[in-house]
Amino acid sequence: MRPRRALISVSDKRGVVEFAKALSDMGVEIVSTGGTAKLLRESGIPVKEISELTGFPEIMEGRVKTLHPKVHGGILADRSKNEHISAMEEFQIEPIDMVVVNLYPFKETVKRGADLDEIIENIDIGGPTMVRAAAKNFKHVAIVTDPADYDKVVKELKEKGEISLKTRFYLARKAFNLTAHYDALISEFLYSIDETGKKVECRELPNPLTITFEKVQDLRYGENPHQRGAFYREVFVDEPCVSLSEKVHGEKELSFNNIYDLDGAFNLVLEFDPKSDGVACAIIKHANPCGVALGSTPQEAYEKALKVDPLSAFGGIIAFNSKVTKEAAELIIQRFFECIIAPEYQEEALEVLKTKKNLRVLTTKGLKGLERRGETSPFDYRRVVGGLLVQDRDLITVLPEKLKVVTDREPTQKEWEDLLFAFKVVKWVKSNSVVYAKDKVAVGIGVGQTSRVDSARCAIEKAQMVGIDLSGAVMASEAFFPFRDSVDEAAKVGITAIIQPGGSIRDKEVIEAANEHNMAMVFTGVRHFRH
């Protein structure tokens, strides 16, 4: 198909002058609207106004300009059907062989914080209608929605004298992907507000669910080398996270597993406020923490976290909730780690970290937006074959005043501090999980066992392997104890207090076990399963 007439109407005007000039030089008549027509005319390109084509002026501040039979008839006509050709002749409809359209900047308008009226005005109606019409009729019409494709189209026209069916189909697929993405963005935004434009506190789970993501990068592979992988990002996310982080060092690209572990590590340290709780450091390996600690400085927090399980830390991911110092960096480079993520770094720290060429260093550029955590990215998605599980993100914080002491003995002040620390850590450990904590260090971590008592024993064994004394430590479980056996195991190594959700039919038995061992036990009423 060699185009004779092209309709050009774009919001993103990158490259459009050069593209239109190339088409015009090849004898293509240019029809355009509004600002695009003005720009092309000022650039010396012959342009026919859309009103000349339709015989009808643009009205309602441009809301209605291309919604006309002479536009859509010219786009949608099937040139292989005599009935369509006859209709065009009868109603004096001129064929439109190419449509060059990109849409009103809805996403950008939302992101810059415009008011609701302006956002609504940036919901494009005529653009998506023309795009869909042209894409549907790709056998006869070329639809160009991406400025990156201008050179491809011009090159093919110059070399072959036409736009091939293969290229028109390629362009049509991109066009439908664009309109689907665009409408999903509008739906997502509208579900985030009420009719006055105010943000809703708890988003509805709509039926059907439409979600959309933008590709950040292709990955070398997925979880394993035989699986393809790519990294996508939510469009309106606006909180410190790995999706918005910037890699400031590292020769290798991030892998699928790197990104997954970075997400878990950074979310774990964000459980702790650097101003009130102190500096948090987490070391993650295969989606589970193998060391977590609080300290007064990054180097102190790192050293404490590393001592928990230095063997497993090899090749792991490190996260901090505060600026990384030169002293911490000098310790980190003494071992092999895959990645490090933090809000920011001292310049001297970056210089030190950059001496390790394969260490990927990521920054979230501060913690701006942390107070809105979960507001712009409220859901957690889990894929199953043929379906998708959707839930609210687990962002609940257990408040001390909501806890219930269920044993004869109440926790001491030190035990309270360690209990709250441990329960924040166990939230990010794969279930069934148990965490022992002492002096705000996760000194024993039992991960992903099929019975809770096995997690309790595993955490003890890991601690004992590196010579950690668990006497005086506390214990956290992300779900209730179905039996008293885990409590008995903990008592053998000197655990003095336990925090758990409660809710088992054997709670009474479990509480009695704690009383027998003179342990304090606290119920949270909140479960943190993590599959």
- Residue 432, preceding bond cis, omega within 30 degrees? yes
Closest CA to 150 of 19, 39, 45, 4: 19
Write down the catalytic residue from 286, 307, 354, 414.
Answer: 286
Residue 363's DSSP bridge partners are 246, 342
3-state secondary structure of 329: helix
* Distance in angstroms (rounded) separating the CA atoms of residues 69 and 67: 7
Q: What is the Cα 355 distance to its own chain's centre?
A: 30
| Amino acid type, 222 | G
Residue by residue, DSSP assigns 277-302 as: T-EEEEEEETTEEEEEEEESSHHHHH
* Distance in angstroms (rounded) separating the CA atoms of residues 34 and 59: 11
3-state secondary structure of 432: coil
3-state secondary structure of 63: coil
3-state secondary structure of 380: strand
Give the E-state strand segments of 56-212 in sequence order: 98-102, 142-144
C-alpha pair distances (Å), 365 with each of 176, 245, 296, 395: 35, 7, 21, 22
Residue 345's DSSP bridge partners are 324
Greatest pairwise CA separation for the chain in angstroms: 95
The Cβ of residue 180 has, within 10 Å, a number of other Cβ atoms equal to 14
Write down the catalytic residue from 13, 48, 136, 174.
Answer: 136
Count each helix (H run) and each strand (E run) in the chain, helices first: 19, 21
Note if 414 is an active site residue: no
> Which residue intervals of 123-164 are DSSP H helices?
126-136, 150-160
- Phi-psi label, residue 161: left if phi above 0, alpha if psi -120 to 50, beta otherwise: left
Residue 521 dihedral angles phi and psi, to the nearest 5°: -135, 135
Q: Which residues contact 197 (CB under 8 A, 6 or more apart)?
A: 115, 116
* Distance in angstroms (rounded) separating the CA atoms of residues 269 and 324: 13
Task: Sort strands 360-363 and 337-342 into parallel, antiparallel or unpaired.
Answer: parallel
Distance, first Cα to last Cα, the chain: 53
* Distance in angstroms (rounded) separating the CA atoms of residues 15 and 444: 59
Note if 249 is an active site residue: no
Size (the chain), residues: 531
> Which residue intervals of 233-384 are DSSP H helices?
256-269, 298-308, 310-313, 326-332, 347-353
Closest CA to 458 of 482, 429, 418, 423: 429
Give the E-state strand segments of 194-254 in sequence order: 213-218, 230-234, 246-249
Please list the active-site residues: 136, 286
